[in-house]
Structure 1
Amino acid sequence: MALALLALALGAFAIGTTEFVIMGLLPQVAGGLDISIASAGHLVSAYALGVVIGAPLLTALGTRLRRRNALLAFLGVFVLGNLATALAPGYGAVFAARLLAGLPHGAVLGVSTLVAAHLVGPARQATAVARVLLGLTVANIVGVPAGTYLGQVFGWRAAFLVVAVLGAVAVAGVAAFVPHVPVAAGGGLGRELRALGRRQVWLGLVTAVFGFAGVFAVYSYISPMMTELAGLPAAAVPVVLALFGVGMTAGSLVVGPLGDRALRPTIYGALAALAVVLVVFAWAVHTPWAAVLLTVLLGAVGFGVTAPLQVLIMQKAGDAPTMAAASNHSAFNLANAGGAWLGGVGISAGFGYASPAIIGAVLTVVGLGLALLAGRLDRGDGAGPEVVAVGGRARADELCADRD
């Protein structure tokens, strides 16, 4: 089981690396393709667009596949997209390749978390999901800095070639160590769509959009915040970003066991803590040591929301959780884009580089309100204990997702 979880986490590591490494290589990409930095930045949007489109699309295509087979197919598309990025001759081809690479992002992570939950049983689902998503956080500590270095020394294409190799190793690991996990009997696209339309699933997805948008309202502008407000040198920014990744990793390690004990209270606590950190961040970012400390805390509490929400949405989808689990990653990418845009609106309006933190706090409070509303509605429905349905069976004494 440990090797299976490691293979799934390696796939998440490759995904996290390719998603963020291009941000550190924009000058090299722009120079290599003879385009502006702004045009190179559109390649970030191309990947995010692929994620939003691909999560429901690929999941729909793979609903009748056994989950290991679906995972192998999705990872194969991921490898192909990154290999195409490394070999693409011009800007248009690179844009298309980045879109292709983003398509399986949500499907891979969604199916990986379902498989992880199946492997450990109902008592440790949040911990297993957090271990898989740990690959995303470690990518920000190791993968992104290493990929940036490789891209600067050997050319930006080398970074995506290495990501393709990592994806291929993940494919081999999944094939070797992950057992077959069948879909629920009678499952299919219709059942997945009905599960996706459940009230509690949608509330969970919208909670992810608003709650997580608060993180990226700040993270998108962390570089000018550190240099213009905290007074740190530009050379310190990569260190701050690595510390943000350390915070993400710590949050993922802590939140898994907490989510296994009390899932909804863990979500409430993480969102409330995130709102507090964002408010304090806006006030304390002018002090260097406080700015760095709060960046670490932002990573910890912000990404502490991800695994519990993922588990909750899978539970509420009942015996057809695949599309819901993948769609949650589309929700997080919408949060990335929306948080960055709204943070930029505050800066453009003349409110300064600290304003995204206040905007992020407001977004997070909205997410917390939605989470509390969902919990109240859940209690009103008389919902009992729930776990993810795996292998065609609901592994709990009572499965109440259909009560939504």
Structure 2
Amino acid sequence: MTKQLFPLALGGLGIGTTEFVIMGLLPDVANDINITIPVAGHLISAYAFGVVIGAPILVALSAKFPPKNVLITFMILFTFFNFLSTIAPDYNTLMMARFFSGLPHGAFFGVGTVVAAKLAKEGKAAQAIASMFTGLTLANLAMVPIVTYIGHHYHWRYAFGIVSLIGILTIVCLYKYLPKQEVLRTVTFKEELEFFKTIKAWHILLIVAIGFGGLFAWFSYIAPLLIHVSNFDEGNVSYLMIVAGAGMVVGNILGGNLADKKNPIKVSIFLLSSMVIALNLVFFFSSIQIISIILTFICGALAMSIGAPINMIMLNSAKHSAMLGAAFLQAAFNVANSLGAFFGGIPLFWGLDYNYPSLVGAFMALIGAILCTIFLKKYNFKG
């Protein structure tokens, strides 16, 4: 990773930490502000809703400004509202802070994706994009477990204080290390939106929402899967989540390298097809602990490896709408999160065991692979 790309990765570290750390701290938050855990769970939804709303709107408002200034502004917003979470006196204020802290999430990655691609050496764009998402993977590997531990054993507000400090450090690094670039928008916003009136644009977003949703059908219920099917002690789950995080780090690097060397749509077909196989193996063999650990790593790797190829597909397809397209992708990833958790939970509602969500995930990944195959043939996509 170059010094120029480091601030983007650091921003991804902060964003990934605040997005996922709340999940492990829900009981602490609920007890502290006198709400139930299901009500506290709305704080997760509020952040996701902020991502979906903020991605296209903030990109649209900021595209006529230099990207360095835009990214710093997004990170200032992110830092301020995470700090507000540390001092929020009640549930409503915390809910508002979570929503507003989610607004810059997709926009930061949307602008950052285009900036990273432009900073990359010839033929290394996907690896540069993967470098930016390294922060997101490291958040799952290390920061989320560490910050969750601090928040649980001391106070949950410290977790968002740490995120705020990461935000401040990111602002400093963006100012110091990110080079100045020309305004990224080359067409009017109206012309930029033209791409999203095409079936091709929504085809890409549908691949993400459904295919990537297969990951979340598995990942949303990984803790009860490991406890009730693999029969691990509850105390070991946090260590196994680190295994999944390590897989994501490796997968992110793998996806970037593959997408630079091969047609990214063919890479996506291969990775989604591999995910189908892996999630089926989870369904059949999670009761064997050593295999469960191996599959946790593999599924984490396959899940994150899709990020760089799908971003390259959007950048190469959207052309003049690349920044808005990358922002919409972040919204689609959050839709995938919601769809995967929802559909993965249906078998549990019917009283089936915790390995069944992975079967739902395999089916969603299969649909994603089929959609990729249709995209390849319909548009003769060369990458």
Deviates more, 1:136-145 or 1:146-155: 146-155
Contact 1:231 1:288 in 2 (8 A): yes
Deviations 1:268-321 (CA, angstroms, capped at 9, x unpaired):
111110111011110011111111111111100111111110121111110221
Task: Say yes or no: does 1:131 pair with 2:97.
Answer: no
SS of match in other structure, 1:3: coil
Deviations 1:86-111 (CA, angstroms, capped at 9, x unpaired):
11110000000000011111001111
Task: Say yes or no: does 1:232 pair with 2:232.
Answer: yes
The offset of 1:194, in angstroms, is 1.5
Aligned CA distance change for structure 1 residues 187 and 134 (closer, same or farther; 3 Å) = same
Deviations 1:115-172 (CA, angstroms, capped at 9, x unpaired):
1100014410110011111110100111101111221233101110110110111111
Task: Say yes or no: does 1:77 pair with 2:73.
Answer: no
The AA in structure 2 aligned to 1:87 is I
The offset of 1:384, in angstroms, is 5.5
The offset of 1:178, in angstroms, is 0.9
CA–CA separation in structure 2 for the residues paired with 1:316 and 1:105: 23
SS of match in other structure, 1:319: helix
The AA in structure 2 aligned to 1:228 is H
CA–CA separation in structure 1 for the residues paired with 2:166 and 2:203: 35
Name the structure 2 match of 1:38. 38
SS of match in other structure, 1:182: coil
Name the structure 1 match of 2:282. 281
SS of match in other structure, 1:141: helix
The offset of 1:196, in angstroms, is 3.0
The offset of 1:184, in angstroms, is 4.7
Name the structure 2 match of 1:395. none
TM-score of the superposition, structure 2-length normalised? 0.97
Name the structure 1 match of 2:292. 291
Tell me how large the CA RMSD over aligned residues is: 1.3
Aligned CA distance change for structure 1 residues 58 and 185 (closer, same or farther; 3 Å) = closer
Name the structure 2 match of 1:114. 114
The offset of 1:185, in angstroms, is 6.2
User: Structure 2 matches for 1:2-401, cutoff 5 A?
Assistant: 2-184=2-184, 186-262=186-262, 263-379=264-380
Contact 1:192 1:322 in 2 (8 A): no
The offset of 1:261, in angstroms, is 0.8
Identity of matched residues, %: 35
Contact 1:55 1:103 in 2 (8 A): yes
Contact 2:271 2:305 in 1 (8 A): yes
Aligned CA distance change for structure 1 residues 284 and 71 (closer, same or farther; 3 Å) = same
CA–CA separation in structure 2 for the residues paired with 1:352 and 1:186: 52
Contact 1:141 1:246 in 2 (8 A): yes
SS of match in other structure, 2:319: coil
- Unaligned ranges ≥5, structure 2: none
The offset of 1:22, in angstroms, is 0.7
The AA in structure 1 aligned to 2:59 is T
The AA in structure 2 aligned to 1:211 is G
Name the structure 2 match of 1:401. none
The AA in structure 2 aligned to 1:351 is L
Aligned CA distance change for structure 1 residues 14 and 315 (closer, same or farther; 3 Å) = same
Contact 2:285 2:291 in 1 (8 A): yes
SS of match in other structure, 2:158: helix
Contact 2:63 2:185 in 1 (8 A): no
CA–CA separation in structure 2 for the residues paired with 1:253 and 1:19: 21
Deviations 1:59-88 (CA, angstroms, capped at 9, x unpaired):
111121121111111111111110111111
The offset of 1:186, in angstroms, is 4.2
Deviations 1:33-67 (CA, angstroms, capped at 9, x unpaired):
11111111111111111111111111111121121
The AA in structure 2 aligned to 1:97 is A
Aligned CA distance change for structure 1 residues 66 and 195 (closer, same or farther; 3 Å) = farther
Contact 2:63 2:184 in 1 (8 A): no
The AA in structure 1 aligned to 2:76 is G
CA–CA separation in structure 2 for the residues paired with 1:278 and 1:364: 9
Contact 2:255 2:307 in 1 (8 A): no
Deviates more, 1:6-15 or 1:23-32: 23-32
The offset of 1:187, in angstroms, is 2.3
Deviations 1:196-254 (CA, angstroms, capped at 9, x unpaired):
33433221111011111111101111111111111110011001111100000010111
CA–CA separation in structure 2 for the residues paired with 1:308 and 1:299: 16
Contact 1:267 1:309 in 2 (8 A): yes
CA–CA separation in structure 2 for the residues paired with 1:70 and 1:202: 26
CA–CA separation in structure 2 for the residues paired with 1:121 and 1:200: 28
CA–CA separation in structure 2 for the residues paired with 1:254 and 1:306: 10
The AA in structure 2 aligned to 1:292 is I
Name the structure 2 match of 1:391. none
| Number of equivalences | 382
Name the structure 2 match of 1:396. none
- Structure 1 stretches of 4+ with a deviation exceeding 6 A read none
CA–CA separation in structure 1 for the residues paired with 2:350 and 2:144: 32
Contact 1:198 1:317 in 2 (8 A): no
- Unaligned ranges ≥5, structure 1: 386-404
Contact 1:196 1:323 in 2 (8 A): no
